[in-house]
């Protein structure tokens, strides 16, 4: 897209001078969000467990992006991530809690280990990292936390007992934190994607019939792309959404409208 501008003027970037942390930033939604934040002027730290993927993503995004290897369900790794961000950029304004896991199963078929793994990453990790950055956002005069939930934060689905429960808990945490920290000018919102073409989805190896079935659940007629979620994340990270907090944002091709 070509954008016209007057000679001698500069395009205003929505996040110029801001510092962001994006978890699960090595691929998929996390990488797309990090790239979009950087294009809007933010300095971005991406975190994840796969060092090679992280470093490749940071290289693609460019000099405004730094990779820090770590597991967000580990309190020591979270402390190291926050310290590395502060050493490099001094402040923290934006946190995108994107890292997550989807382990299929019903209440009967899931093991205790699978249940615990799901909640440790999808809920406990979000709480731990949010808790760690809140004082620094307060010191910076405010900030924005964007949690990546799911349409299953809002509705149920077969064979997704742990995942749906964890994403519903994430939305509850989002709303509680929004109320707790509104006076600190820290906004907390939750994006609820439908089915997005990512490595997580690809691992399910859906056959043609299964893909058609799931596609029919999205009235717009296609699955999401990571960039679809990134646009919503930029909005919620920026001052353009300064009166939005505690909200659930379905970005789902109409999934939850059916």
Q: What is the pLDDT of residue 41?
A: 98
Answer yes or no: is 198 within a domain.
yes
Kindly give, in sequence order, each residue whose CB lies less than 8 Å from that of residue 21, ignoring residues fewer than 6 positions away: 44, 45, 46, 47, 81, 82, 85, 92, 94, 95, 96, 129, 133
In a domain, 258, yes or no: no
The verdict on residue 134 lying in a domain is: yes
In terms of residue numbers, what domain contains 235?
Answer: 19-248
pLDDT recorded at residue 145: 99
pLDDT of residue 8: 44
Query: Domain tally for the chain?
Result: 1
- Is 7 part of a structural domain of the chain? no
DSSP-assigned states of every residue in 43-59: EEEEEES-HHHHHHHHH
Give me the pLDDT at residue 140, please. Answer: 98
- Residue ranges in the chain modelled with pLDDT below 50: 1-9
How do residues 107-116 score in pLDDT, each as one tens digit?
999 999 999 9
Q: Phi first, then psi: what are they for 61, rounded to 5°? A: -70, -40
State how far the Cα of 249 lies from the Cα of 234, in Å rounded to an integer: 13
> Which strands form 186-193's sheet, in the order they lie side by side?
65-69, 43-48, 19-23, 94-97, 143-148, 186-193, 248-251
Instruction: Give the domain CATH number at 36.
Output: 3.40.50.720
By annotation, the residues acting in catalysis are 163
- Report if residue 12 sits inside a domain: no
Report phi then psi at 17, rounded to 5: 85, -5
Which has the closest alpha carbon to 42: 70, 8, 18, 75?
Answer: 18
């Amino acid at each position: 897209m070509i954008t016209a501008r007057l000679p001698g003027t500069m395009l205003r970037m929505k996040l110029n001078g801001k510092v962001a942390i994006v978890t699960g930033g090595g691929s998929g939604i996390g990488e797309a969000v990090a790239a979009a934040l950087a294009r809007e002027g933010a300095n971005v730290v991406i975190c994840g467990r796969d060092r090679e993927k992280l470093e490749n993503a940071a290289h693609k995004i460019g000099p405004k992006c730094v990779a820090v290897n770590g597991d967000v369900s580990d309190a020591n790794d979270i402390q190291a991530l926050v310290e590395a961000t502060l050493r490099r950029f001094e402040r923290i304004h934006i946190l995108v809690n994107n890292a997550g896991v989807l382990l299929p199963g019903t209440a009967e078929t899931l093991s205790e280990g699978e249940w615990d793994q799901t909640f440790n990453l999808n809920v406990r990790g979000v709480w731990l990292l949010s808790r760690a950055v809140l004082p620094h956002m307060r010191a910076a005069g405010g900030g924005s936390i964007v949690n990546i939930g799911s349409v299953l934060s809002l509705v149920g689905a077969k064979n997704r007992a742990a995942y749906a429960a964890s994403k519903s808990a994430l939305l509850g945490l989002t709303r509680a934190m929004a109320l707790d920290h509104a006076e600190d000018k820290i906004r907390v919102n939750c994006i609820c994607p439908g089915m997005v073409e990512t490595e997580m989805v690809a691992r399910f190896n859906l056959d043609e019939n299964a893909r058609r079935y799931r596609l029919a659940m999205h009235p717009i007629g296609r699955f999401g792309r990571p960039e679809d979620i990134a646009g919503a994340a930029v909005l919620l990270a920026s001052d353009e959404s300064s009166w939005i907090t505690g909200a659930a944002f379905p970005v789902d091709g109409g999934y939850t409208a059916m």
